[in-house]
A and B are shown apart, each in its own frame.
Chain A
């Protein structure tokens, strides 16, 4: 009984999420459309970029292909239809479709962001919970100072400092890249090699979010510990570990997961800078190259795809939220 009802709930959640996804894609595609027209200069020139603009034939083709002589609304309609069929345009700089360029770089970015996101959430909430349980102690003070410092550190600079210490000075970790080139590794060696390359980018990306989640979890635990149901549990004579695990943690996690979902966009943005620091071959590097070359179609495509990734992360946190919020489960039961 409860099983089918909660399945129905999840189904509803996913359906609502798909509607939201399509809506966001349409809004961002429209925004991109407006931006190209608002940019100074001829839209064909903007899309062709520095390399294509010199060639009158490319400009002519572009005008024809995008119907730039037709009314704006017609242009917008064609543009949205294109985006919905996953046609994100063409990079004249790289001479390849934008979607191909993005798909090629996507796995590296996903690997980096998802690992950093999970680590930050796991370690951050654990540390925060521990600090909250010993609030006021020396360990708690050290924790608070450290998280304040991390919170004020620019991610890209943290990455560079790690390179300075662990690659330049100690020589322990590779300073950049995704894997050792021409290493002739076996499959397992290759995985370890990639993991070794991942350590610093993941730490620098995860650090600031770890600090945010930890601080939140700390105050959340402190707040929960003052609530009546905890007092009741104590009065009932429940053992402290049991109170902490089954009553406090679950309730305290709710606001943290909510914020983690809201921070997904910032995390993805941070990945872009971190990839630039570590020459990580993902979307961030592609962004950096596209900025340098003013490769406009690529930038617009990346903005769209990364927004989709944020929405996907939001769904994940929504699902976790349903899973842990006691009010949600009692309702369903």
Chain B
């Protein structure tokens, strides 16, 4: 409860939270606000913003850019959150095993983590999505597969810090199973910094997804912000609005998540945060 109160008094964190709620509302109400599919023609091609009932203008085929931006919010948030959860699952698992068991297991797992941190993640993502053909699921799994290393490192560090503590030793003495100690005792104590990094991972996942769909590797059935910018790129002289608005949408969403995540970090981990401030 104290954490909630502290967060309410955190100005930039609250600003991020409010922005995020707005994006969420747009995402949820998109089908009500824009009942016509963003793939459908709803006016003359290249309608400038504000004309013909299209506040953000129309694209090359007369589709409503505003409808695309609203429906794109669903795609971006869904992919961002789902990929961050996928990255969390992989990262926490690897980090927990590495930090709890230590020794050779730790050495091998950390080498693998380093390898994933070294290779250019975006190229790996392009390669994976191109191999398994772009769909919602492959994109989420791919972004998860290239985004887990920071989470694994953090979890490992937390586990190393906590595994020698008295409460863990007490649990060991009572003969509790390894799974119970890891999941029931250590993980709950390590969870708050992990959650902060997961929230920031949502932001990077959204950026990664937008870059993939900009490069033509988005799910072809989903209207996404990156795809819209990619489509607007070639006609930027005639229709600036086609690339400006979806980009602003990404900027606002990512900014909101980053502000929220950093606010969360200040409130949940003042020990770490004060060093950054």
Please list the residues of chain A having a beta carbon within 8 angstroms of any beta carbon in chain B.
24, 27-28, 35, 38-40, 148-149, 151-157, 160-161, 163-164, 168, 219, 222-223, 262, 265-266, 268-270, 272-273, 276-277, 287-288, 291-292, 294, 296, 299-300, 302-303, 306-307, 310-311, 314
Contacts and interface: CB of A to CB of B under 8 A. Distances in A.
B203 interface: yes
B231 to A, nearest CB: 12
A223 B276 CA distance: 8
Contacts of A153: 247, 250-251, 254
Interface string B219-262: 00000001001001100110010011001001110110011000
Contacts of B232: 160
A273 B125 CA distance: 13
A273 B214 contact: yes
A154 B119 contact: no
A291 B126 CA distance: 8
Contact of A148 (B207, B240, B259): B259
Question: A-side binding surface: helix, strand, loop or mixed?
Answer: helix
Nearest to B211: A273
B123 A306 contact: yes
A306 B252 CA distance: 31
A314 B120 CA distance: 12
A307 B120 contact: yes
Contact of A164 (B133, B244, B250): B244
A296 B237 CA distance: 33
Contacts of B120: 265-266, 268-269, 272, 303, 306-307, 310
Given A154-B210, A168-B240, A292-B216, A303 B124 contact: yes
Q: Which 3 A-B pairs have the closest CB atoms?
A: A269-B122, A157-B247, A152-B255
Contacts of A273: 122, 211, 214-215
Contacts of B34: none
B173 interface: no
A270 B122 contact: yes
A308 to B, nearest CB: 10
Given A35-B131, A154-B210, A303-B124, A291 B118 contact: no
B1 interface: no
A160 B236 contact: yes
B248 to A, nearest CB: 9
Contact of A302 (B123, B244, B277): B123
B123 A154 contact: no
Contacts of B233: 160, 277
A163 B258 CA distance: 27
A262 B122 contact: no
Interface of B: 115, 117-124, 126-128, 130-133, 203, 207, 210-211, 214-217, 226, 229, 232-233, 236-237, 240, 243-244, 247, 250-252, 254-255, 258-259, 275-277
A163 B118 contact: no
A273 B212 CA distance: 9
Contacts of A276: 214-215
Given A40-B132, A148-B258, A291-B130, A24 B118 contact: yes
Given A160-B233, A310-B120, A299 B211 contact: no
Given A153-B251, A303-B127, A291 B244 contact: no
Contact of B115 (A27, A160, A164): A27
A149 B258 CA distance: 10
A288 B215 contact: yes
A168 B236 contact: yes
A284 B120 CA distance: 12
B134 to A, nearest CB: 10
Contacts of B254: 152-154
Given A148-B259, A160-B229, A168-B237, A310 B118 contact: yes
Contact of B277 (A148, A219, A272, A307): A219
Given A151-B258, A307-B118, A269 B123 contact: yes
Most A CB contacts (10 A, CB to CB) among B130, B133, B254 go to B130
Contacts of B215: 272-273, 276, 287-288, 291
A149 B123 contact: no
A272 B251 contact: no
A265 B119 CA distance: 6
Contacts of B128: 35
Contacts of A299: 126-127, 130
Contact of B229 (A152, A157, A219, A302): A157
Nearest to B229: A157
B214 A272 contact: no
B236 A287 contact: no
Given A156-B229, A157-B243, A299-B126, A148 B217 contact: no
Q: Which of B122, B130, B229, B247 has the most CB of A within 10 A?
A: B122
Contacts of B247: 153-154, 157, 160-161
Max chain A Cβ within 10 angstroms of own Cβ: one of B119, B123, B131, B233: B123
Contacts of B259: 148
A85 B172 CA distance: 53
A283 B119 CA distance: 15
Contacts of B250: 152-154, 157
